[in-house]
Structure 1
């Protein structure tokens, strides 16, 4: 039996690779509980004898479509308290020591993009789309993305994603360094597993040590950045533009913003 964490996260070992699956289809919207369960699962992989790399994959149409702002019951979208709790889990995820390969199909949007950037590598299907669409909601980016995205793709490309909210195709993401491999959807999980096995065949203490050097103070930097992001989000959440942004995204139309 695969160990499970909460309702929607399971772990299966494939040799020295832990395959961690989020199973909350079709869109795997983030919630505090889901991110806590995922952090619990990955911390267990850190502590497991024999676990040397992890694949992070998701069931359904999307890898993770972010917060469900169209749902009044969504713990993240409904208030800033939920966002505070979410960012606590984000810091836990960035503190994981095991190298992670994400298998990305469909959308990785908003906090879902933030989750994809927790991983060391991203293998994507051609249909994958990456978007920091916060400005379309009248909101400020979060989940540490204002630190992690420029670190990965450079400041100018991060500016383009943040200020336009556009969706970046997998092939463009490959050219930018946002994606490491693009493979057909039917080969996605196998390709992610192959990359994770390539990592896992190396000396585990050396891999962990090298990764720590390369990542530096990433978890602490994410913690500091989410504090600033939360402050800005609190201000913007009180605006008319935020209310219009949520409506317009739910109604699949351009926002009619007033700057108030």
Structure 2
């Protein structure tokens, strides 16, 4: 079972899973053990009947990225940061990107470094008004990782991405919403409820279509226009033969709410 630095539960009624980074005294910064616990938790969630996932942080922060205290800074030694990225952070963001589940980051405070990029690797970001996003890497002589150099310019454009990465400037939740990082900003006390409501709504959507939409939107970043048209055609062909499509059309004709069951 996952340990104390990562907590999760699945609501059997709504089929919404909530995963909480639980090192509040360290702003939920990652250690190797926390990565292992998160991987195990995600495995259990993905194998369950959950239809949506919320990722949030305990306490006053979402995630401050890597816990530098978990690295080796003894004289004469040098931590292999590339190895750390390859073993832990890259598999994590790849897993989120490939997940069948719609994933909501409920950012309840500081999202710094890899923590900011973890949030952007989710499908939707809901932020408390007091939340902030910081590409803090330059302040310790590093480059944004965990997908940051790919995700950030696609969310905010090259000029803003360079400005944030080169200065390490803190970005408020309101500006992050205006710039396209955040889907919605809510009052601090309303964050968890707002995230739960959106996740519950997504959990009721046709799961096959949700997964396909995620794949299609992500593929558009590298596909040509013709390739994207072909992908849309192939996806519609597959989804048009699914029970969810039949149910959706029937519900529309009968003027009732659809009951989607497929995973």
TM range (shorter): 0.7 to 0.9
Equivalent residue runs for 1:156-167 within 5 Å: 156-167=159-170
**What residue ranges of structure 2 are gaps of 5+ in the alignment?**
222-263
Larger Rg: 2
Residue-by-residue CA offset, 1:59-79 (whole Å, 9 max, x unaligned): 01110011233x2x4379944
- Relative to the length of structure 1, the TM-score reads 0.75
**Do structure 1's residue 22 and structure 2's residue 21 form an aligned pair?**
yes
**Mapped partners of 1:123, 1:153: distance in 2:** 16
Residue 85 of structure 1 corresponds to which residue in structure 2?
87
Asked which structure has the greater RCO (Cα within 8 Å, sep 6+), the reply is 1
Residue aligned with 1:160, SS: helix
Residue 74 of structure 1 corresponds to which residue in structure 2?
71
Residue 4 of structure 2 corresponds to which residue in structure 1?
7
**Mapped partners of 1:119, 1:75: distance in 2:** 30
Q: Confirm or deny: 8 A CA contact 1:53 1:197 kept in the other structure.
A: yes
Residue 31 of structure 2 corresponds to which residue in structure 1?
31
Residue aligned with 2:54, SS: strand
Equivalent residue runs for 1:180-199 within 5 Å: 180-199=183-202
Residue 100 of structure 2 corresponds to which residue in structure 1?
97
Residue 225 of structure 2 corresponds to which residue in structure 1?
none
After superposing on structure 2, the runs of 4+ consecutive aligned residues of structure 1 that deviate more than 6 Å are: none
Residue aligned with 1:5, SS: coil
Residue aligned with 2:29, SS: coil
Q: Confirm or deny: 8 A CA contact 2:18 2:55 kept in the other structure.
A: yes
Q: CA RMSD in A?
A: 2.1
**What residue ranges of structure 1 are gaps of 5+ in the alignment?**
219-260
**Mapped partners of 1:88, 1:173: distance in 2:** 24
Residue 62 of structure 1 corresponds to which residue in structure 2?
61
Residue aligned with 2:61, SS: coil
**Mapped partners of 1:75, 1:119: distance in 2:** 30
Residue aligned with 1:142, SS: coil
Q: How many residue pairs are counted as aligned between the two chains?
A: 212
Q: Confirm or deny: 8 A CA contact 2:96 2:103 kept in the other structure.
A: no
Indicate which of 143, 148, 155 corresponds to 1:140. Answer: 143
**Mapped partners of 2:45, 2:169: distance in 1:** 35
Q: 1:217 to 1:23 in 2, by over 3 A?
A: farther
**Mapped partners of 2:42, 2:99: distance in 1:** 7
Residue 112 of structure 2 corresponds to which residue in structure 1?
109
- Relative to the length of structure 2, the TM-score reads 0.74
Residue 41 of structure 1 corresponds to which residue in structure 2?
41
Residue aligned with 1:28, SS: coil
